[in-house]
Amino acid sequence: MLRGLIFDVDETLVYYEGYDHREWYERWVMPALREHGIELDYETYRKTVTGELPRSYVERFGVDHVEFWKIVDGVNLQYRRWMAERGKIRPFSDVGALEELKAMGLKLAAVSNASQECTEFVLNLFDLRKYFEVVYGKDYSNLDGVKPSPYLVEKALNALGLEPEEALMIGDSHHDVLAGKRAGMKVVNVTRFGEIEGADYYVENLRELVELVRKMP
């Protein structure tokens, strides 16, 4: 029986107008790293984000990886505030579906590879935090536990008191699909940016998700 849903946040519930990953890193993050005497090129950074390299990889450059990610996440929070002031962070038009899903008696959680502060900031920006019983951003005690690792998803399942077969993972990316699968869950891919191979269900938007959930036992 379906009792809960675990959502990704960025590009599933909200989006960032005009966001370019490389530009963000080179314009916002690199200057902050240089202030701490850290030089890390974009390609190496990108590989740590995509999972080609572990988050702890930066230790090879003599950098404490926890401190490194705290610097990056601090910059990310500044960037999100800057974007929000300019109206460039937007909720997708279908996020009202969260209210319907909550009204159906489902337990909702949100998990993100962004920091806890960044994740809470964006959810609070659009008054979405109230729908979620728990919200988990990246955990500094286990930085390699970000998606596609199942760590954050399993943490959410435990907090909700749910078994994997009692919940669905909802997300837009390959990392979301892998994290959900590795946690033993069925996964719904929201195909705003195309279909991701390996999901159990595909919906174009959260309205379709509501309809999918209604048909489930």
State pLDDT tens for residues 109-143.
999 999 999 999 999 999 999 999 999 999 999 99
Neighbours of 109 (CB within 10 A): 24
Residue 113: name the closest of 72, 83, 84 by CA.
72
Distance CA 184, CA 186 (A): 7
Distance (Å, rounded) from C-alpha 169 to C-alpha 109?
A: 10
Q: What is the mean pLDDT of residues 74-79?
A: 98
Closest CA to 120 of 197, 36, 14: 14
For 83-116, what is each residue's pLDDT tens digit?
999 999 999 999 999 999 999 999 999 999 999 9
Identity of the residue numbered 12: T
As a whole number, mean pLDDT of residues 179-208 equals: 98
User: Containing H/E element for 72?
Assistant: helix 65-85
- pLDDT category, 217, cuts 50, 70, 90? confident
36-49 pLDDT tens trace? 999 999 999 999 99
